[in-house]
Amino acid sequence: MKSNIFIITPPFTQLNTPYPATAYIKGFLNTLRIGSVQADLGIEVILALFSKKGMSDLFENAIIDSAVSDNSKRIFALQDEYIKTIDAVIQFLQGKNPTLALQICQEDYLPEASRFAQLEELDWAFGSMGTQDKAKHLATLYLEDISDFIVECIDENFGFSRYAERLGRSANSFDELYESLQQSLTYVDEILIAILKERIETIEPTLFLISVPFPGNLYSAFRSAQWVKQNHPEIKITMGGGFPNTELRSLSDARVFEFFDFITLDDGELPVELLIEAVASGEADMPLKRTFVLEEGKVVYKNNSARSDYRQSQVGTPDYTDLFLDKYISVIEIVNPMHRMWSDGRWNKLTMAHGCYWGKCTFCDISLDYVKIYEPIAANLLCDRMEEMMEKTGQNGFHYVDEAAPPALMRALALEIIRRKLSVTWWTNIRFEKSFSKDLCVLLKASGCIAVSGGLEVASDRLLKLIDKGVTVEQVARVTSNFTEAGIMVHTYLMYGYPTQTVQETVDSLEMVRQLFEAGILQSGFWHQFAMTAHSPIGMHPEKFGVEKETEIIGTFANNDVNFIDKTGIDHDKFSFGLKKSLFNFMHGICFDYELQDWFDFKIPNTKIPHDFIENALNEDNNFNTKPNAKIVWLGGKPEISSFTKSKKGNSWEMMSLTFHDKKEAFTIQTNKNEGEWLVALLHKISVYNDKQLTFQQIKTEFELDLEDFELFWFSKPILTLKEYGLLQL
């Protein structure tokens, strides 16, 4: 298939789903009626490597000598078993061979090396896992054993979701990467180049776009560009994506342009369109947008186009055509439930809003356009895109990849999904703000939301204020409780080593986390150590946060991670193992009674957090006053109505009985006839399937036209019962 434009994600990113950048660009080019072909070379290399032929070639090329570990010698000795089982295991992980799970779970089918040693420790974790999940985990260990063998005996840079990542991390100088690119192709390089060669010769592009989301894609991106430059110098090559957007903003090393003709920054739509026009015209001085080029031996940044960037409503629907959607591999690497979602199953990726509506967190790159320029997309357009993607991909799972999804837009999206009667599964990243009431969480769950992730960061109110997170620990507790009660899984990002953080605050943060898990309102979490970046408020003004930069030297290549000196002098590294080990146990509902000291092999102070801090936060009286402008929505259906007469002490009056059916059970409420008739009419008006929404004040006013004591009615037993079954105040 010939096309002027070829777009790739180089190895390696994810095994279970394509990284969305190429699909976003292809969808945009569709709006311009410009044809393009895309490829995820990461999954294609993995499938070539992890196949019967790939395994046979692998063992033939392996270097086995006296220095090789006993583990690799064992794998080499069992090579026939690996060659025999590999195709069946890959098909199983692609969802094409489910019956193999029974054989895998008998634990005499797969060859086992060192990764399986952890099974004894994890045996208890499989209590709630079904056969398919357990088999996926065992098959994942099997692949990781092979990966260990590859790293030791074939290619030290190999990794399933990253390749030669160390060459891209904090690479202020291009020297090491450049030197690596002068070496002979590695075994994995040869597989990559063979696939790329076939694609280039088939497509015959004039413009080759390489998206580099992470440091672990960088080396392969340069290898791909290098081969095309050497063999097809007529093809123009450009790099874009998350890595250049954050790391290459001060690029000055001319050697980079031995491999690439252009490097674009930030939103790629307009820069790519202008590059297409420039390449088609053949003119050297065409206007460009946010693009590095080489002129007279020097790197020049060109941003001389007067055209404005496209609005989010104009960029089109991500298009996954050309990608091998049925060949991605679902793995279960660890039992962390949120990490499992990242690595298991196929997700269509979408964005609710460009940038972050909060845009204040001091550790975040809020000075960059991809964060600071906030632009939401209308809920009806989002649903249009969801329906189009479901039709094209056959998948109804969506991961909204926002910096932080706005609560009001999440509400509008949920209502639109329900109104259209779409059956979807979705999850996203949020801020734990008080807008996420119990009723909003119930609505989100009803629309198909199954999980949210958000940053608690440092569980200390002093540091949360310094971060400018805009939340308190108590608020996070109440919000996570609302999500959990609605049946939505909550994952939190946790941070240690933030500037000026004391040992006491680290210990107190751990105690907060312990209590949150013990209360059952967090299901998943991950600790990471603070890293300073050049484009964050801390990186730009470190003196305001009690730290200083180690050096002011700006490199000629990547410049984002900043080494710094924390004047507290605390060695935060030593907390890493204890924090992560305790969290692993808390996630599995155990060891809450351990002393915090038990997690560390050095002395720590006692926590100053009361043992019932989170419990008290959850038990605080909420303000039950409904805001006049709150939207009232009914998620349930129409009731079955019957009338009867009630008598007491010689008096009788007419009553109504309303019977409702939800997905699990039927329930009945009783009211007097007048209120019952009014209520039936109201439920029809405020049904989630109606476009028009009534506010609490409008409903109150309407009630009082013919009836009395609205508050008495609204807080009566029948209405409180309806609130348990889907009468929401949003």
Q: In this model, does residue 623 exceed pLDDT 90?
A: no
Task: Return d(Cα 82, Cα 104) in angstroms, integer.
Answer: 13
DSSP conformational letter for 285: T
What stretches of 448-497 show up as alpha helix (H) in DSSP?
461-467, 473-486
- The dihedrals phi and psi of 654, each to the nearest 5 degrees, come to -85, 140
- Where are the domain boundaries for CATH 3.40.50.2300 in the chain? 1-42+161-330
Task: Return d(Cα 382, Cα 406) in angstroms, integer.
Answer: 14
Selection from 55, 126, 54, 139 nearest residue 95 by Cα: 139
DSSP string, 177-236: HHHHHTSPPPHHHHHHHHHHHHHHHHH--SEEEEE--SGGGHHHHHHHHHHHHHH-TTSE
Range of 130-134, 297-301, 539-543, 546-550 with top mean pLDDT: 297-301
- Place 289 in a pLDDT band, splitting at 50, 70 and 90: very high
Q: What pLDDT, in 10s, does the model give residues 639-686?
A: 999 988 888 877 888 899 999 998 889 999 999 999 999 999 999 999
15: which 2 tokens? 């095994």
The pLDDT of residue 413 is 96
Task: Return d(Cα 241, Cα 487) in angstroms, integer.
Answer: 35
- Place 528 in a pLDDT band, splitting at 50, 70 and 90: confident
Q: What pLDDT, in 10s, does the model give residues 3-60?
A: 699 999 999 888 889 999 999 999 999 999 999 999 999 999 999 999 999 999 999 9
What's the whole-number mean pLDDT along residues 251-264?
A: 96
Q: What's the whole-model pTM score?
A: 0.90
DSSP string, 378-444: -HHHHHHHHHHHHHHHS--EEEE--SS--HHHHHHHHHHHHHTT---EEEEEE---TT--HHHHHHH
Q: How many other C-beta atoms are found inside a 10 Å radius of the C-beta of residue 541? A: 10
Q: In this model, does residue 254 exceed pLDDT 80?
A: yes
- Place 557 in a pLDDT band, splitting at 50, 70 and 90: confident
Greater confidence (225 vs 589) lies with 225
The pLDDT of residue 33 is 95
CATH 3.40.50.300 fits 1-42+161-330, yes or no: no
The pLDDT of residue 166 is 59
Query: How would you list the strands of the sheet with 666-672, edge to edge?
Result: 640-648, 651-661, 666-672
Task: Return d(Cα 673, Cα 216) in angstroms, integer.
Answer: 68
Q: In this model, does residue 119 exceed pLDDT 80?
A: no
Residues paired with residue 350 on neighbouring β-strands, in sequence order: 400
- Where are the domain boundaries for CATH 3.80.30.20 in the chain? 347-619
- The dihedrals phi and psi of 139, each to the nearest 5 degrees, come to -65, -35
34-48, 303-317, 350-364, 572-586: the lowest-pLDDT one: 350-364
The pLDDT of residue 575 is 92
What's the whole-number mean pLDDT along residues 288-314?
A: 94
Greater confidence (558 vs 129) lies with 558
The pLDDT of residue 67 is 87
The pLDDT of residue 171 is 63
Task: Report, in angstroms and rounded to the nearest whole number, the Rg of the chain calculated over CA atoms.
Answer: 29
Q: In this model, does residue 170 exceed pLDDT 60?
A: no
Q: What pLDDT, in 10s, does the model give residues 422-440?
A: 999 999 999 998 899 999 9
Range of 109-113, 554-558, 560-564 with top mean pLDDT: 109-113
Percent of the chain surpassing pLDDT 90 = 66
CB distance 407 to 440 below 8 Å: yes
The Cα-based distances of 693 to 412, 441, 576, 675 in angstroms read: 11, 18, 50, 21
CATH 3.40.50.720 fits 347-619, yes or no: no
The pLDDT of residue 220 is 95
Q: If residue 239 lies in a helix (H) or strand (E), which one and from where to where?
A: strand 236-240
